[in-house]
Structure 1
Amino acid sequence: MKNRNKQFMTAAVLGTATLLAGAALAQGTTFLTIGSGSTTGVYFPVATGMAKMINDSGSGIRANARSTGGSVFNMNAMASGELNAAVAQNDVVYYAYTGTGLDAFKGKADKKIRTMAVLYPEVLHVLARKDAGINSVADLKGKKVVIGDLGSGTEQTAAQVMEAYGLKFDDLGQALRVSPSQGISLMQDKRADALFYTVGVGASAIAQIAQTVDVKLVPVAGNQAASLLKKYPFYVRYNIPAKSYKGIDVTVPGVAVQATLVTTTDESEDTIYKAMKAAFGDEKGLKAIHPALGTNFSYAKAVKGLPAPLHPGAVKFFKEQGLSVK
């Protein structure tokens, strides 16, 4: 019995020592969970890459990237404290900050939202099977169309673009609210004629469809694009370069919103400054994370088209880069 009690006491002491050691290791460490999006999109590898840069910096910040449902989920998760930072479409961030636009945010303006940096254009891809007879957004009438997850940024973008062409979701043969990975399967199985996806050029989901299905990119151009940009100023024109995907041999005119890294006032100036310095201080390393960053990111662009005020930690970082920000 004495031996057994001695074993219990030894185990208890060891357990306490382990806890104390763990607490000591944790002292001075700040944890940052970054919301991204589907693993088949661009948000996830970008957030993962930035988290690695933060972790490798020795700044005392430990970051991890979490795959999520995308922009709308991320904004709600930051409001509830589930996420500390997130990548999201600048239009969705604006809606959350102002309490407008989307039902998820109407009347619930979140003034705690702060911008860290604008990252890259998120291009609306309207992808159609070549055998579906779709040459214009107007041709989507009566078709089976993947419009994105329920409440996602893609769904909102799809509604706004279709509106410019005089269409509503009710005009579709079937509005399919599914994830990008499910959308791929539906396109491959001929259960969907077209797919909306707001994502950086080169996204693996679009590349995967193009590798397995004969597809075309449907343009968003002309008077319809002009009216869209006039009504929703967070859009910009963007031409998807030829050869971006298999079988797409011509440049296709389109529109884009912008992927933006955001956080809240709950995070201290010191935390965000250290995270910014780690992830953005090495601009070459940041741009190497993904082609969407490599061809588009710059410090000057990172502070343009902000959907919410810059976080003080971001202000401090960008001032060090010689930019006039506040």
Structure 2
Amino acid sequence: MKKTTKQLGALLVLGTAAIALAQGTTFLTIGSGSTTGVYFPVATGMAKMVNDAGAGVRANARSTGGSVFNVNAIATGELDAAVAQNDVVYYAYKGTGLQAFQGKANTKLRTMAVLYPEVLHVVARKDSGIRSIADLKGKRVVIGDLGSGTELTAKQVLESYGLGFDDLGQALRVSPAQGITLMQDKRADALFYTVGVGASAISQIAQTVDVTMVPVSGNQASSLIKKYPFYVRYNIPAKSYKGVGATVPSVAVQATLVTSTAVSEEAVYKAMKAIFDDEGALKAIHPSLATNFSYAKAVKGIPAPLHAGAVKFFKEKGLNVK
């Protein structure tokens, strides 16, 4: 029977997949976040580095709802690895902190590397009159996607100022892209976003709306850090965004690359070599990595134990890890 070109093409694809499987290729799906954030370009860049290495591991990056979704998807096997906030990973590993994790500790979660600080941006329209976190009371505030790391951060920061979501005029649970539109259309007064400095979503708002960056500082920041030691103080540099003429004090958590014990030591080690062996190439992926990543920082403040493949890699780099 004569086969059509389409049938031959299908057989070729199947044949390629079969060869890859026969050669022991491991396929990794890496969860990221919104396409307007930093997770997505970072995960996409890392997946490309894995694929370019040709070391028997293939990877692809997926846009997702963010940290909470990512760690849950690792637990179910929907994702093999992901970028997530270190506080969210810790809560998932311990089975505490968030309702989604209560009593459901995922002890199979493993850290590959800490990547860069994720800074809380609280952006307000200048015409809203919001100058402090306390001023958010009664206002329409974008608090992040349902189940995102940003939503968790917003809850904890508001709490440190004696506020809850019920004190807001509206707590808008939408994606960063939707949040931009709401800010531009004057349907939102302010927006929380935990993301690396320079995120396109924040830049886009600042380019199209007169905004002010709301500080998180003083006693409230101190109490937040004391209660939730994942946070560190972090100053958003002046001129990071249009209209932000002075340094803005805030807080940050850490973006972390995580995986599961379900992924083999060999696969994780090969992925680590592909992504992290050339520090310069890694830093070229995004400014957040360029200004913050180092091997020493990569193993500080890890929210779950290092994966065996990561331990092997970092030991080769001369670090004392286990």
TM-score computed with the length of structure 2 as normaliser: 0.96
Residues of 2 paired with 1:131 and 1:217: CA distance? 13
Q: 1:145 aligns with which of 119, 141, 155?
A: 141
Residue 315 of structure 2 corresponds to residue 319 of structure 1: yes
Residue 283 of structure 2 corresponds to residue 293 of structure 1: no
For structure 2, the residue ranges without an aligned partner over 5 or more in a row are none
Q: 1:248 aligns with which of 244, 264, 270?
A: 244
Residues of 1 paired with 2:12 and 2:207: CA distance? 55
Output aligned runs, 1:1-326, within 5 Å: 6-7=1-2, 19-20=14-15, 22-27=17-22, 28-326=24-322
Residues of 1 paired with 2:17 and 2:114: CA distance? 36
Q: Is the partner of 2:292 in helix, strand or coil?
A: coil
Instruction: Give the letter aligned to residue 122 of structure 2.
Output: V
Q: Larger C-alpha radius of gyration, 1 or 2?
A: 1
How big is the shift at 1:26? 3.4
Count of residue pairs the alignment pairs up? 321
Taking a change above 3 Å as real, the CA distance of residues 142 and 262 of structure 1, as seen in their structure-2 partners, is same
- Root-mean-square deviation (CA, aligned residues, Å) is 1.8
How big is the shift at 1:22? 3.8
Residues of 1 paired with 2:39 and 2:281: CA distance? 17
For structure 1, the residue ranges without an aligned partner over 5 or more in a row are 1-5
How big is the shift at 1:12? 9.0
Taking a change above 3 Å as real, the CA distance of residues 50 and 12 of structure 1, as seen in their structure-2 partners, is closer
Contact 2:65 2:147 in 1 (8 A): no
Taking a change above 3 Å as real, the CA distance of residues 104 and 51 of structure 1, as seen in their structure-2 partners, is same
Residues of 2 paired with 1:34 and 1:21: CA distance? 22
How big is the shift at 1:54? 0.6
Q: Is the partner of 1:220 in helix, strand or coil?
A: coil
Q: Is the partner of 1:249 in helix, strand or coil?
A: coil
Contact 2:30 2:82 in 1 (8 A): yes
Taking a change above 3 Å as real, the CA distance of residues 308 and 13 of structure 1, as seen in their structure-2 partners, is closer
Residues of 1 paired with 2:10 and 2:194: CA distance? 50
Taking a change above 3 Å as real, the CA distance of residues 314 and 231 of structure 1, as seen in their structure-2 partners, is same
Taking a change above 3 Å as real, the CA distance of residues 7 and 97 of structure 1, as seen in their structure-2 partners, is same
Residues of 2 paired with 1:17 and 1:234: CA distance? 49
Residues of 2 paired with 1:139 and 1:72: CA distance? 28
Q: Extract structure 1 runs of 4+ deviating beyond 6 A.
A: 11-18
Give the share of equivalent positions with the same residue, in percent.
78
Instruction: Give the letter aligned to residue 322 of structure 1.
Output: G
Q: Is the partner of 1:7 in helix, strand or coil?
A: coil
Of 137-146 and 19-28, more deviation after overlay is shown by 19-28
How big is the shift at 1:110? 0.2
Q: Is the partner of 2:252 in helix, strand or coil?
A: strand
How big is the shift at 1:24? 1.7
Deviation per residue, 1:145-195 (Å, 9 max, x gap): 000111111111001000111111111111101000000000000000000
Residues of 2 paired with 1:294 and 1:129: CA distance? 30
Contact 2:115 2:254 in 1 (8 A): yes
Residues of 1 paired with 2:47 and 2:11: CA distance? 31
Residues of 2 paired with 1:45 and 1:14: CA distance? 31
Instruction: Give the letter aligned to residue 212 of structure 1.
Output: T
Residues of 2 paired with 1:314 and 1:86: CA distance? 14
Q: Is the partner of 2:225 in helix, strand or coil?
A: helix
Deviation per residue, 1:7-37 (Å, 9 max, x gap): 37xx999976874454124322110000000
